């Protein structure tokens, strides 16, 4: 898996990702502690609302940013966004009011909503080989998981010598270091095959996404992941510090347990995906999350919490890590930034629903009932995914074109079929294929 790091461009991008994620992870831990300081037992509602605001920024900004990304050099765009995020993070330690948290989180996440899809869409162009890209996906997932483990551990260590306000400085350092690594390489910037208007560029990724059966299934799985992840990210501080009466370090270690389970899955996935279909692997991860959520109803004690959060991390990674493969299979290179932006926006729309739901359910009906409600929602999402995403899901699809001129270059291998022309090839939604064949 590590041999892909021999590619200098990918290696520097990967280092940029790791460092920025650690900084972001420190910010996430500190934000939860800040919410607890400002709101006390209502921290779950405050944090859930703050995270919902993050999702609003993701959903609203990502497609628009993708529309303009194809007209701006990727390196300049990524560096500028890192610097914007660093500037916003500088202000977080000085927050004294809850509304200030909400404003700064929106600004920070608006920059991240522009950064992440552009970054993700660059990797397939840097590593065009399918096996290399598969391993890069696992390394990318591993980076997210290391953030889940290293950031809470680092935060726990830092909390022994400084207040959590000082932890925000780590976020600033992470974004500046990320910018430095991006500056050090030259990035490819694919151009669209034809000029497109602003509406076409803004909506193209979402239209491709929703017209592709496997991606409609992925969207349902994203909702199940969001149900599980919201319980972890919103209610860990409440479970540990209010429910169990433990300290901030215990909160950090609980989040690290979630990351540890995810790391184990990420390390196991490359050989697993060589043996089993992506669909089976992702559905298995969704099943793990459903069972874990329902098991949370019986949660009793810190040890059980650590074990349960580890299982959550395992299922979380099994679903999310292979998703990049589906996006790559479902698009031409010039459409990948738009499609990755669509995945970013639509998946975060799921989190937009589940973050406040987890926070408010915990406050209004209690945590055991919250586990039950979100567990049933995740199970429903898994059933929907199985209906949308066909079991076979072939890359090459036989289909018929109607309305194209018989001399059109795309029909060079087609045969007449009634009033159209029929052929088979690797099928993705594009200008010649606006709908999926039935």
Alpha carbons within 13 A on the beta-carbon side of 28: 28
pLDDT (mean) for 36-44: 66
Phi then psi for residue 349, to 5 deg, are -65, -35
Closest CA to 73 of 206, 166, 186, 157: 186
Asked if pLDDT for residue 280 goes beyond 90, the answer is yes
Helix (H) or strand (E) holding 342: helix 336-364
Q: Which residues of 71-81 are buried (b: 16+ CB within 10 A; e: fewer)?
A: eeebbebbbbb
State the CATH class of domain 2-388: mainly alpha
Out of 37-41, 61-65, 89-93, 101-105, least confident range: 37-41
- For residues 365-370, give the mean pLDDT: 89
Confidence of residue 68 (pLDDT cuts 50, 70, 90): low
Q: Give residue 217's pLDDT.
A: 95
Residues 6+ away with beta carbon under 8 Å from 337: 66, 69, 70, 117, 118, 121, 190, 205
Q: What is the pLDDT of residue 54?
A: 72
Q: Which residues pair with 415 in a beta bridge?
A: 422
| Band of pLDDT at residue 152, cut at 50, 70 and 90 | low
Q: Give percent of the chain above pLDDT 70.
A: 83
Q: Which residue's structure tokens are 């996440």?
A: 109
Local structure of 129: helix, strand or coil: coil
pLDDT of residue 203: 81
Check residue 402 and give its pLDDT.
87
In angstroms, the CA 274 to CA 130 distance is: 11
Structure confidence by residue, pLDDT tens digits, 177-234: 889 999 998 887 655 555 566 667 678 888 999 999 999 999 999 999 999 999 998 8
pLDDT for the residue numbered 341: 76
Lowest pLDDT segment from 42-56, 207-221, 300-314, 405-419? 42-56
Nearest to 232 by CA among 168, 316, 150, 301: 316
pLDDT above 90 (res 163): no
Q: How far is CA 337 from the centre of its chain?
A: 14
What confidence tier does 382 reach under pLDDT thresholds 50, 70, 90?
A: very high
pLDDT at 149: 55
| 380 or 103, which is more confident | 380
- Residue 105 near residue 47, CB atoms below 8 Å: no
Instruction: Specify the higher pLDDT residue, 197 or 362.
Output: 362
**What is the average per-residue pLDDT within 402-420?**
86
Residue 36 has pLDDT above 70, yes or no: no
Mean pLDDT of 307-331: 89
Q: Which of 120-134, 141-155, 329-343, 413-427 is the most confident on average?
A: 413-427
The yes-or-no verdict on residue 374 having pLDDT over 60 is yes
The CA distance from 374 to 367, in Å, is: 10
Residue extents of the structural domains in the chain: 2-388
* pLDDT tens per residue, range 238-275: 888 888 888 877 887 888 888 888 888 878 887 888 88
Element spanning 421, H or E: strand 420-426
Count CB neighbours of 95 within 10 A: 20
- pLDDT at residue 118 in the model: 76
Q: Decide which of 21 and 368 is more confident.
A: 368
pLDDT digits (tens, 9 = 90+) for 91-145: 877 877 777 777 777 887 788 777 777 777 788 778 877 678 767 766 776 666 5
Residue 381 in this model has a pLDDT that exceeds 80? yes
Highest averaged pLDDT of the listed ranges 10-19, 162-171, 373-382: 373-382
């Amino acid at each position: 898996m590590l041999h892909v790091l021999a590619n200098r461009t990918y290696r520097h991008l990967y280092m940029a990702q790791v460092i920025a994620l650690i900084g972001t992870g420190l910010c996430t831990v500190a934000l939860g502690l800040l919410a607890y300081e400002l709101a006390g037992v209502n921290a779950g509602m405050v944090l859930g609302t703050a995270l919902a605001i993050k999702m609003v920024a993701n959903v609203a900004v990502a497609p628009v940013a993708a529309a303009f990304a194809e007209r701006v050099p990727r390196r300049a765009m990524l560096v500028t966004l890192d610097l914007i995020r660093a500037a916003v993070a500088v202000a977080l330690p000085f927050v004294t009011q809850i509304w200030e948290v909400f404003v700064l989180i929106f600004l920070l996440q608006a920059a991240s909503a522009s950064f992440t899809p552009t970054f993700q869409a660059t990797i397939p162009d840097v590593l065009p080989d399918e096996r290399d890209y598969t391993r890069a996906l696992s390394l990318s997932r591993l980076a997210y998981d290391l953030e889940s483990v290293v950031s809470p551990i680092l935060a726990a260590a830092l909390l022994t010598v400084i207040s959590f306000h000082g932890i925000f400085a780590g976020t600033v350092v992470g974004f500046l270091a990320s910018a430095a690594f991006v500056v050090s390489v030259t990035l490819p910037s694919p151009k669209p095959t034809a000029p497109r208007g602003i509406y076409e560029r803004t909506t193209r990724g979402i239209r491709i996404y929703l017209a592709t059966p496997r991606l409609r299934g992925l969207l349902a799985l994203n909702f199940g992941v969001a149900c599980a992840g919201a319980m972890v990210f919103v209610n860990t501080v409440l479970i540990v510090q209010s429910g169990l009466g433990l300290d901030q370090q215990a909160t950090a270690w609980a989040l690290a347990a979630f990351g540890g389970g995810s790391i184990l899955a990420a390390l196991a996935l490359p050989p697993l995906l060589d043996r089993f279909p992506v669909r089976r692997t992702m559905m298995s991860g969704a099943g793990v999350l459903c069972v874990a959520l329902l098991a949370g109803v019986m949660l009793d004690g810190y040890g059980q919490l650590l074990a349960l959060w580890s299982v959550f991390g395992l299922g979380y990674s099994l679903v999310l890590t292979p998703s990049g493969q589906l996006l790559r299979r479902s698009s031409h290179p010039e459409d990948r930034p738009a499609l990755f932006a669509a995945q970013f926006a639509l998946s975060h729309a799921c989190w937009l629903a589940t973050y406040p739901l987890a926070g408010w359910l915990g406050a209004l009906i209690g945590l055991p009932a919250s586990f039950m409600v979100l567990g049933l929602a995740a199970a429903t999402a898994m059933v929907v995914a199985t209906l949308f995403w066909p079991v076979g899901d072939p890359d090459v699809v036989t289909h018929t074109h109607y309305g194209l001129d018989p001399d059109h270059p795309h029909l060079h291998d087609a045969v007449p079929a009634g009033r159209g022309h029929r052929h088979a090839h690797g099928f993705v939604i594009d200008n010649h294929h606006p709908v999926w064949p039935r």
